[in-house]
A and B are shown apart, each in its own frame.
Chain A
Amino acid sequence: MKALSLIVVLFTGSLLLSVVSLFPVWGNPHSPANANPISQFYINETEELTGVPNLVTAVLADFRGFDTLFETVVIFSAGLAVFSILGRPKRKRGDEKPEEDDPSENLIVIQTCRLVIPIMQLFALYVIAHGHHSPGGGFQGGVILGSSFILWAIARNLPTALQRLSSRKTMILACAGVLIYAGIGVICQALGENFLDYHILHYLLPATDAIMARSHAMLGVEIGVAFTVSSIMFGLYAYLSSQGREEGGL
């Protein structure tokens, strides 16, 4: 059986490798993907139409805004699934304090985390806010923001991190993120345009034209994505590492 599967794997692998030579060369400007009029339109017109130099973000958050909205919903529902499978009814939490670990035991780890976590969070906010001018955006920034909380939970223990961001707040923030994103779309609709057609928002935003309105709306959308992603990432860690009991360290 093992020999048979090895033959199948080798055959499929060599078939795939032999097809690779038919692909267009990397970076070829005349390859079908690059020469297509639709890609040409995005490459040439994006900055004029939206005022956003990073055309990856422009395609992600504006031209294909609907896709990204439902990507956010996918992450949200993945979080919901884990919470509903692993979550269990809370034990009565009277005045019990989270168990204090001896701080002298891992002093170096804790002090290093105290130094690193603010820098991580600042960088995450930069990635979110600057996502339409440089690489980055809501997903990446949200993951970095969420992992700063995860780092605190690993360095200390889970209850200490849950004091900063409880699982209840996690759920509220995740819902808020999706609502921000969808809300921006609904506002566009209310002003008489299509769902997520941002240029109409210049009626609401002072001192912006239709082009800058699209840029600003992209920032709003990225913030919504970051809310959902960061809180779901931390919530997933909290539930996966403690089997939903919300206690103990890793």
Chain B
Amino acid sequence: MIWPFDLVILLLLVVAAVIALRVRDLLAASVVFGTYSFLICLLWAQMEAVDVAFTEAAVGAGVSAVFLVATVFNTRRNSSD
């Protein structure tokens, strides 16, 4: 376990989570959501859970971010709240 690495990732995780919730532009929110998944993936890899990290990178950071973006393009771009 490399604690400075952990600390940086966990801090960025919190920042990404707050941004994803606060930002009004839904496209930006879905991109930040992909970033969040990628950071989690780094955390799994660092804990030597490589299979889980691989799934998170492919499904969480890759395809589900694309699905979110594809869906945002068919709705309004800005959230009302």
Contacts and interface: CB of A to CB of B under 8 A. Distances in A.
Interface residues of B, number: 18
A173 interface: no
B63 A146 contact: yes
Contact of A139 (B53, B55, B69, B73): B55
Interface string B45-81: 0010011011100110011001101110110000000
What is the interface residue range for chain A against chain B? 20 to 34
Interface stretch (A87-95, A182-190, A232-240): A232-240
B58 A144 contact: yes
> What are the nearest 4 A-B pairs in CB distance?
A241-B70, A135-B50, A143-B58, A56-B51
Contacts of A144: 58, 62
8 contacts: A26-B1, A27-B1, A56-B51, A135-B53, A136-B54, A140-B54, A143-B62, A150-B66
Q: Which of B53, B59, B63 has the most CB of A within 10 A?
A: B63
From DSSP, what is the main secondary structure of chain B's interface residues? helix
Interface of A: 26-27, 54, 56-57, 127, 135-137, 139-140, 143-144, 146-147, 150, 154, 233, 236-237, 240-241, 243, 250
Contact of B67 (A56, A57, A127, A236): A236
